[in-house]
Amino acid sequence: MQMTLQRPLNRARHLLATAREAIRPVCRSRTRSCLILLTVAIASVTNPLSSQGADWQTLFDGKTLRGWKITDFAGGGEVNVQNGQLLLHAGVMLTGVCWTNDIPQTDYEVSLEAMKVEGSDFFCGLTFPVEDAFCSFIVGGWGGGVVGLSSIDGMDASENETTKFLHFDSGHWYHLRLRVTKKKIEAWIDDEKLVDQSIVGRRISLRPGDIEMSKPFGLATWQTTGALRDIKIRRLAGGHAESSDTSPAPLKALFLTGGGYHDYQKLAPHLTSNLSRLVNAQFTTAFDLSALTNAGFADAYDVVVYDVCFDNAPDAILESALQAARKGKPAVMIHCAVHAFRQSKKVHEWETFCGMKSKVHDPYGPFTIMKLDRDDPITKAFPDPWKTPGDELYQTISIDPQSHQLLKAKSPHDGREHIVCWR
């Protein structure tokens, strides 16, 4: 799954803040685009907020387990205190501790430092109360990179709108902060805000299973040894807890889909519904290109998404798409759209619009994606390397020389390397 962007999505402040400046075109006098993996573009980075409230209460003295009990997880690993650290050693599945004293149910903030010692799954699973319910903040789950809340409306940290993908180094301390109010749950890692979840009208719960034993307030790891220290909590002042928060208006996206080779009638609703959980957007879906008969088809939208696989289209249709992009309307190309319109007279202009020339792809299967620029805002949070569970690797014939290449993948089929992310 791939995408192109003509200019930064100015209204996607909430979920595209990092990518926004990075994808600004270098040359605005011609149709130009950048191609980035969709999972990167929806990464959410916002500025940390200052907090106010009561004094911090220390929950871990660095010497003993006073105030804590070892959670009776089946096959749990050893728990001990060493060098000022609370060590949760890898077990068969979960290892953890629970707080045995009173804890606030809302309007509070938690702060701690966590480190992955060894292992490949979450090194900190913080379970906490949310009024009459409970939730977990997962750091490094599902193979080591998932961050999010479990669960929102029955969907866990790997599949709801709080899902983020980060890389965590072993032996590195990360500062975690969690805030719970009556209206939302917020969380930061190293002062980078990663969770900003409204809970009004949402069902908050724990992922079914042994994690229920972490209630009301507990810490756990999964098949991983984690170290914790400087664990503390404080109540929030009433004025701060009830302060209003204005969320950005949703991005208005026109989702154009259809063509051969895929069942777009089934795929499009699945894709847009899942994207809506990850990005603050409202989708209008059309299963053909008839809207493009109107030269101003994109005026009412913030972005146009092309998830199409048509072999041909009238010149006027493609010219409407190209003109919208030339005027600065962001465009997103998904999958086969990069191969589309190969029988059209304007196919070369379409390829320039995409920023890449590609005619074929590898057989479906897993492949590994590697970073070419670790510090770029688009890819800095992308796991390196990352192996797809399965996809069609598009073969790069040529790429715009003005494009800055960010990610590549080596074909398991013939060993050739192809660029899969650029701006």
Q: What is the pLDDT of residues 366-388, one digit of tens each?
A: 999 999 988 887 787 778 888 88
Q: How confident is the model at residue 247 (pLDDT cuts 50, 70, 90)?
A: low
Last residue of a domain, one of 214, 236, 258: 236
Tens digits of residue pLDDT in 206-216: 999 999 999 99
Average pLDDT over the chain reads: 84
Residues 80 and 215 in one domain: yes
Residues 6 or more apart in contact with residue 348 via CB below 8 angstroms: none
Residue that terminates a domain, selected from 190, 212, 236: 236
Both 82 and 130 in one domain: the answer is yes
Q: Domain span at residue 167?
A: 57-236
Confidence at residue 281, expressed as pLDDT on a 0 to 100 scale: 83
The per-residue pLDDT for range 41-62, each reduced to its tens digit, is 333 322 333 334 568 999 999 9
Q: Using the predicted structure, report yes or no on whether residue 29 has a pLDDT greater than 70.
A: no
111 assigned to some structural domain? yes
Helices 315-326 and 347-354, axial angle in degrees (round to 10)? 30
Write the DSSP assignment of 17-78 as a string of letters: HHHHHHT--S--SS---EEEEHHHHT---BPPPP--BS--EES--SS--TTEEE---TT---
What confidence tier does 320 reach under pLDDT thresholds 50, 70, 90?
Answer: very high
The phi, psi pair for 379, rounded to 5°, reads -110, 0
Report for 2-11, 47-56, 120-129, 266-275: range of highest mean pLDDT: 120-129
Residue 151 has pLDDT above 80, yes or no: yes
**Does 88 share its domain with 176?**
yes
Task: Note whether residue 51 is domain-resident.
Answer: no
Q: What is the mean pLDDT of residues 9-20?
A: 33
pLDDT at 315 over 90: yes
Tokens matching residue 288 = 């053909």
Give a yes or no: residue 243 inside a domain: no
The mean pLDDT value for 255-284 works out to 84
User: Across 9-18, 53-62, 153-162, 378-387, which has the greatest mean pLDDT?
Assistant: 153-162
Beta-bridged to residue 419, according to DSSP, are: 408
For the chain, how many structural domains are there in total?
Answer: 2
Which of 12-16, 72-76, 321-325, 387-391 has the lowest average pLDDT?
12-16
CB 328 within 8 A of CB 9: no
188 and 257 together in one domain: no
